[in-house]
Chain A
Amino acid sequence: MDTEAIKLLSAGICMGVGTIGPGIGEGMIAAKALEGIARNPKMADKLFSNMLIAMAITESLGIYALVISLILIFAA
């Protein structure tokens, strides 16, 4: 394999492996938030905004993988 092929392959693997964790995490956040909303619908607005914040923070792990793979493809 030449360098270009390895770069593309590793970028693909990086995204594939790197999004497993954030995916599970975001699912758990959504599940718990929905549980909370179902228990106490009055709190829905506050829970929803907090859920979005927590999701964005969890998602950043996936974004790091994305940044790495983008660097691999375009910059390295």
Chain B
Amino acid sequence: MQEISLVPEVIFKIGNFDVNNAVFATLFVTIIILTIAFLTTRKLSLIPSYFQIAIEGMVSFFYTMLLDTYGNKKLAKSHTALIVSLFLFVLISNQFSFIPLVQSITINGIIGFKPPTAHLSQTVALAIIVVGFSHYLGFKLSPLKHIGHYIKLESVLKIRKPGDIGMAFLDIFLGILELMGEVAKIISLSCRLFGNIFAGEVMIAVLVSLSIYTSYIVPVPFYVLGVFVGGIQALVFAYLATSFISAMAIPHETH
């Protein structure tokens, strides 16, 4: 049975830096994305090729989505770059193991390429990028208000009579809850993607290793399911990233 591990296997080392199969695959995903970007931007034309239509459709899909949530063309345009690149990265990494024969390439007896998003470290990194960026935007918009949203000292300063102390404690507690909510955002965003992709991998691996009869035709529907889930999860990741970022980027008067 193919070894199932939560920790990616180290292929080789450069100095102190472990190059494991997730990092290796991430490199190739980056190369694929760069190639797509290069091919689309070389010969843009008013009468677009099919490839250009596909890419333009994807970008404008996210652009209209952002425009609907922001109502601000400049902000929507600048954030489309981030959202589309997140979407493309997650999509291509999810579908990485469905490239024919890629699973049979071994380096030093270890499978060379695993889908990068099937490792928790990768998805946590993506989630931290999203949440960190949203906080950066919120801080840039109004630094004091943003910090005051989490550390609610405002009500402590407002204490006039003994009854207010209780309210102040409640406010501080609510601030701590908000802080924990931010950590929960990272966990939920990363675990959702990781769980879906890793579960698909494990399911196919278990099915193939069950018996000789289930190793050829039987996994095919599960591969189809994997492709479907990968696409959906990439879309969900982009949607959630949009909602997290837009919640911070737009000035809100209520609460």
Interface residues of A (CB under 8 A from B): 52-53, 56-57, 59-60, 63-64, 66-67, 70-71, 74-75
Tell me whether B194 is interfacial, beta carbon within 8 Å.
Answer: yes
Query: Considering the complex, which residues of chain B in the window 167-207 have a beta carbon less than 8 Å from any beta carbon of chain A?
Result: 188, 191-192, 194-196, 198-199, 202
**Chain B proximity of A28: nearest CB distance (Å):** 18
Q: Once the chains are docked, how many angstroms separate the CA of A56 from the CA of B158?
A: 44
Tell me whether B156 is interfacial, beta carbon within 8 Å.
Answer: no
Among the listed A52, A56, A74, which residue makes an inter-chain contact with B6, where contact means beta carbons less than 8 Å apart? A74
- Does B191 lie within 8 Å of A67, measured CB to CB? yes
Q: How large is the interface on B (under 10, 10 to 19, 20 to 34, 35 or more residues)?
A: 10 to 19
- Does B6 lie within 8 Å of A70, measured CB to CB? yes
CB-CB nearest in chain B for A54: B236
CB-CB nearest in chain A for B236: A56
Among the listed A60, A70, A75, which residue makes an inter-chain contact with B192, where contact means beta carbons less than 8 Å apart? A60
- Say whether chain B's binding surface is mostly helix, strand, loop, or mixed: helix
- Does A63 lie within 8 Å of B6, measured CB to CB? no
- Does A56 lie within 8 Å of B232, measured CB to CB? yes
Which residues of B lie under 8 Å from residue A63 when comparing CB positions? 191-192, 195-196, 199
Among the listed B4, B5, B195, B239, which residue makes an inter-chain contact with A53, where contact means beta carbons less than 8 Å apart? B239
Report if A56-B195 is in contact (Cβ < 8 Å); known contacts: A70-B6, A70-B202, A74-B5: no
Tell me whether B247 is interfacial, beta carbon within 8 Å.
Answer: no
Q: Provide a sorted-by-A list of 20 A–B residue pairs whose CB atoms are within 8 angstroms.
A: A52-B232, A53-B235, A53-B239, A56-B232, A56-B236, A57-B192, A57-B236, A57-B240, A59-B196, A60-B192, A60-B195, A63-B191, A63-B199, A64-B191, A66-B199, A70-B6, A70-B195, A70-B198, A74-B4, A74-B6
Tell me whether B246 is interfacial, beta carbon within 8 Å.
Answer: no
Tell me whether B233 is interfacial, beta carbon within 8 Å.
Answer: yes
User: Contacts A67-B198, A74-B4 given; 7 further ones with Cβ under 8 A?
Assistant: A56-B192, A60-B192, A63-B195, A66-B199, A67-B194, A70-B202, A74-B6
- The 6 A-B pairs at the shortest CB distance, nearest first, are namely A63-B195, A60-B192, A56-B236, A67-B195, A75-B6, A66-B195
